[in-house]
Structure formats: C-alpha cells, structure tokens
Chains A and B, each alone.
Chain A
Amino acid sequence: SIGINAEYGVIIKDDAPNRLFFSKHLQFLLSYAKNQNSYEYVMSEWLRASGVYWCLTALKLLKNDDLKEGQLYDFVMSCYSKEKGGFGASEYHDPHILYTLSAVQILAMIDRLEDLDVDNIVSFITGLQQDDGSFYGDEWGEVDTRFTFCAFATLALLGRLYDCNVNMGVQFILECRNFDGAFGCVPGSESHAGQVFCCVGALSIANRLHLLDIDQLAWWLCERQLPSGGLNGRPEKLPDVCYSWWVLASLKIIGRAHWLDKASLIKFILAAQDDETGGFADRPGDMVDPFHTLFGLAGLSLLGDTCLEKVNPVLCLPQPLVDNLGLKLEIVCQRD
C-alpha cells in the first residue's frame, strides 16, 4: 500500500556515509562560485543572496574563515536598493524581504552591520506590514508567514524589532495556526514544517512562545520522523535533510528536541552526504547542494556534534555571533 511505501520509502544502505566529511564539505562550499558560467549558477541568480548566506553560514559552522569579507560586502551591497531600502537576490533584482534577511545575516557574520543605513532598511520592512499584521514579500503583495519571520528576524538583528507592529504580527501568525497545532503560510493553509519554523521563530523573537500549545505542536513535529530516522515536512511526504533544520530547530526552541530519536536522525543526515564531492543532498543518493549542506550541518550542530560551531536555532547563525550581538531569543527549557 502507498502508506507503507511512503513510510519505508527511504532505506539507508549499509555502505552509506556514517561519519562527517568535514574537509570535503569545506571543499564543496568554497567552490560554490567557481564556475559562474554554469547553467545551475546562472539560473539560480534569483536566489543568490540566500545562496551566499547558506555557504557562509555553513563555512562558519565548519569554523572556517576563508571567504574574503571584502568581496562578500561588495556583493551584498550590490543587491541593495537605496531607493527602496531593501535588498534583492542579486544586482538588478528588485528588493524582497527574503533577500533582505539574507543580506543582513551575511553582514552580521562579517561584522559590517554598522555600515548600513538602518533607518532606510527598517522603513522598507515596516512599509511591507499590512493592517492584519501580515507582511508582504515586496511591492507586489504576496503574503506568507515566512515573510513575518524575515521581518522580525531582520529587525531584531538591527535592534529595531518594535519599529513594526509586533502585536499585530503575532496576531497574524496565530491566524495561520491550524487545528493540529501546526502552522501554514496563510490562514487555512495546510500545516507545513517549514512554515512552523518561521512561525515558532517569529514568536520566539517576539517573546510570545507561551501562546503556543507546546506539547501539541511538539507532537506534530515528532510525527515528522520516519523509520529511516529522517524528517519530513508534512504527513506522507518523503524525508528531507532540510527538515532536520525546520523541525529540529522548532523543537529546540520549544524545549522538546529530546522527544526525537536522535541517533537515527544523525544516521539519516550523515547518509545524505556525498563522500566524493562533499555537500549534503535532500536524501541519501541524491545530488548535493549548498542549501541542504547548510541545514544538514546546522541539524548536526543542534544534535550536539562538537566538531561544529554551535548554531542558534532561531536565526540559523553561529551562536557566538548571536551572543555578541546581545540578542536574547526566547527558548523554552527542555522538560519532559
């Protein structure tokens, strides 16, 4: 039956990678922008700022500082629209709240936040908030709880969270809560682990985690774990390494990460590595990419891998950086 196939769909082979290929991942990440004429690189220009954020954060988790900060700064500022106050994914791309967060995250990691026209960026973000508390992604008016997270996170990094209407932002998030306790992208939308992370993260930043039914949400999140140890995003979907972040970080924030089977999750994540090229794929055997590499490493860090830098579960940035910025993000204490 289909149900059984979905549950047992991923079987980890005996010869699958079972240890962290630290230096291979460094190699993979440092070669990200090597072939700028490749089809994949050109056709992913529309997410470049996020791509750079994924690579840089992953490298930081691997405790590497090889990337040239000057080049990173120049790239990020080429994405900046002084007129609008936001950042696009790349030069000539219109500003969007997603890439504004990525840009600010990158600048935080290279310690260049002070060079920003913070007021301008803040007004770009607050200008996107609607009467019902939701945030547009850009001038074209798409609404999504991801954008609420991006808004709160960016403003928090700039120390200006309360420049937006946090109460209304929180109200909108609660409108997107479903009866299973999890969250969708807009009111009524299906519960999705990615959206859950964004909502839980936003509530953490706003210091409103008490508004959650924590045990109910934690239960739904733990149902994402499949026999292979991997995590999916919704019922009957295949496991995907990126959910090692969305689900695990959410559980960490609400203090229930210990409800998961840690050993089998680690096994799944490690199996998704490519031992030749380095990098992580969405699941064992598939093609690797920087996105899954970051979230694989971040997941392993949250699970306690001591080779890796500690990662903050709300902002997906190195924890020491978050500490230095003086950001106190609400995390519920672990409790049975």
Chain B
Amino acid sequence: WYQRRVRALTTQPILDSISLLDISEPIILECGHLGISKKIFKSLGLYAHDQFNSYSALPDSEEKQENLDKLSSVLILLNPDDSRYWCHRKRVCRDSMNATLLEAELWLTSHPLKLKPKSPEAFSHCKWLLRNNSSLVTHTIIRDQLALCHKTAVQYKQNYYSWTHRIWLVKNFRPLLDFDRELAASKTWIESHISDFSGMNYRFNLILISFSISPDVLSKKSMSKILVQEIIFMCELITFYPDHEALWSYLRMLFLFCDSHKLEYVKRCKEQLGVIEKIKNSYADRFRGSLIIANLFGISL
C-alpha cells in the first residue's frame, strides 16, 4: 500500500506555485502553476473536513487508514493550520519510514507552503521528519530544504517561520550543507532585501556559528576583524539607503555584540561611523526609527 502511495505522489507534476483564484473552472494547471477556484477550495475544505471526522469515528481498519491518509494529504493543503492532519501523518510516518518515504513526505509537505508560505505547521512537520530520521537525511534533502526556505522567504517578507527553520537546519545539519555558500548567499540576500531584518538576523547567526566552528579558538582580534567588516558593510548600505530601520537595527545589534564581548571596532571604522553620525543627524527629524536606534549607540567618535 505504501508503494502505491509513493508512486501516486511521485507521478504528480512538479508544482512551482499554488494560488487561489476567482475562476469558474475548479482547477487550472499551467507551466507548473496550479490555480484553484476559491469557491471549490472552500467547499472541498468543508467536505474533506467532514469526511476526516467521519472516518476517524469508525473502528480501525485498513480502509479507514487509507482514507485518512489520503484525506490528510489533501487537508494539509486545504487547512494547513490544523495540526490534526499533521498529527495523523506523523503517526503513520512513525510506524514506517525509509529514504523514499521521507523524500515523498517532505515533498508533500512543500505543497501547503506554496499556497501559504508562512505555515508554521508545515515547517514544524519538516523539522519533526528530519529530527526523527536524521540517519536518512542527505545533502540533497538539506539542499531542497534550504531552497524551500529561500522560496518562502521570497514569497512572504520577513517570513519568521521560514528563517527560524533555516537557522535550525544550519545548526543541526551543518555537515550536510555548504556553510561558506550560505554565508555568501546571506550577504547577497541582504543587499537586495534591505527592509528584511529576518535575513540580517540569519546572517548574524551564521557569523556566530562561524566563530564557534573555527579550528583554532578565535581570538578577539579575528572576531573583531570579521565584525568590523560587517559593520562597514552595514554603514555602506545605510549610506545608500538611510531610511531603512532594518539596517540600523542590525548595525545596532553588531555594536551591542561587540560591546558585550569587549571587541574593538571604533578605531577601525572611524570614517564609516563618522558618515553614519552625519546621516543620523540630518535625518533626525524625518525618520524616527533611525534617531531612536542611533541614540543608543553611545559611541564616542
């Protein structure tokens, strides 16, 4: 029965996106983009919800299990916030799991995120699957998970669950990913998403992880060097985009980290900090955010 299920799942077309539309036809599929009629989506949701309750009430049987499994695989798309369907799937997965089924389940879990990129239950399910089958997790799986994080972060600005998941992946499966590539990619992301503090917090986490995985114990001097580079990076962005609270917030976090670890930075980026001071003063009345943030600096230049 599991074989049939896997085959059914793997013969589905690769979906790029799923959207709800005001259309008369129930479903449109075009070049990997699935459109579902809003009306159909709602009536299907109610019907499936009803069916799930009905089958749940029946005495246990193979037919009941098969139906609940089919219904749950659709209901996680129709109502992704309802943990009941995810719980059911966890129970099934807990009983039997192998590499193929893990990939199939992760693939299935990616669908609700195409419709609802910030679904906490979907990300939670991914974590549960990876955590409980860590011996089956491959480079490819982690690569796909990181791609999923990237995609959902693009679709929904400052996607809290997506970025939290990404941090979790790096912390728990670092040997299975290209850490330096993640670090470089995080810089590129910030450069093109200057309002997205989530991406900045992510990069900050990567920097802290890089400190902890250094072969030699990182000296204050080398930690300071890396953070100075980061501070200069932020100062440059702020010079171009002074109105973005996220940039100021990240800059502040860098200062606070340096201060709490007694890392020297003022002398090394004196010029950049001078520019920031000027910007802060010229924007003082205009942009409340940067004024408040900048006031906390307490740097003596």
Contacts and interface: CB of A to CB of B under 8 A. Distances in A.
A75 interface: no
B260 A185 contact: no
B195 A236 contact: yes
Contact of B82 (A45, A179, A234, A235): A45
A188 B205 contact: yes
B84 to A, nearest CB: 6
B83 interface: yes
Contacts of A191: 201
Contacts of A140: 87, 90, 124, 128
Given A180-B252, A190-B198, A235-B246, A219 B292 contact: yes
B79 interface: yes
A223 B87 contact: no
* Interface range for B: 35 or more
Contacts of B244: 1-3, 236
Contacts of A180: 249, 252-253, 256
A223 B253 CA distance: 14
A96 B158 contact: no
A189 interface: yes
Contacts of B282: none
Contacts of A184: 164
A7 interface: yes
A4 B84 contact: no
Contact of B243 (A1, A186, A189, A192): A1
A2 B158 CA distance: 14
A150 to B, nearest CB: 15
A45 B124 CA distance: 20
Interface in A31-62: 39, 42-43, 45-47
B131 interface: yes
Contacts of A39: 42, 45-46
A121 B168 CA distance: 31
Question: Main secondary structure on chain A at its contact with chain B?
Answer: loop
Interface string B142-186: 000000000000000010100110011001000000000000000
B81 interface: yes
Interface string B252-272: 110011001000000000000
A258 interface: no
Contacts of A227: 288
B207 to A, nearest CB: 11
Nearest to A185: B164
Contact of A189 (B56, B164, B253, B260): B164
Interface string B186-200: 000000001111100
A162 interface: no
Contacts of A24: none
Nearest to A3: B243
A142 B124 contact: yes
B128 A141 contact: yes
B103 interface: no
Nearest to A194: B160
Nearest to A96: B83
B249 A235 contact: yes
B196 to A, nearest CB: 8
A178 B87 contact: no
Given A94-B84, A179-B256, A42 B49 contact: yes
B8 to A, nearest CB: 25
A92 interface: yes
A208 interface: no
Contacts of B296: 219
Contacts of A2: 194-195, 243-244
A46 B245 contact: no
A235 B198 CA distance: 9
Nearest to B88: A94
Contacts of A236: 158, 195-197, 244-246
A6 B245 CA distance: 10
Contacts of B84: 46, 92-94
Given A190-B197, A236-B195, A94 B158 contact: no
B127 interface: yes
A149 to B, nearest CB: 16
B79 A43 contact: yes
Interface of A: 1-4, 6-7, 39, 42-43, 45-47, 92-94, 96, 140-142, 178-181, 184-186, 188-192, 219, 222-223, 227, 234-237
Interface pairs A-B: 8 shortest CB-CB:
A3-B243, A46-B82, A190-B201, A3-B244, A179-B256, A235-B245, A236-B195, A235-B249
14 contacts: A3-B287, A39-B42, A47-B81, A92-B56, A94-B84, A140-B128, A142-B127, A186-B164, A186-B168, A223-B245, A227-B288, A234-B197, A235-B249, A236-B246
Interface of B: 42, 45-46, 49, 53, 56, 79, 81-84, 87, 90, 124, 127-128, 131, 158, 160, 163-164, 167-168, 171, 194-198, 201, 205, 208, 241, 243-246, 249, 252-253, 256-257, 260, 287-289, 292-293, 296
Given A3-B289, A93-B83, A184-B164, 14 more contacts: A2-B195, A2-B244, A7-B287, A43-B79, A46-B79, A92-B84, A94-B84, A141-B131, A142-B127, A180-B252, A186-B164, A188-B208, A192-B160, A223-B292
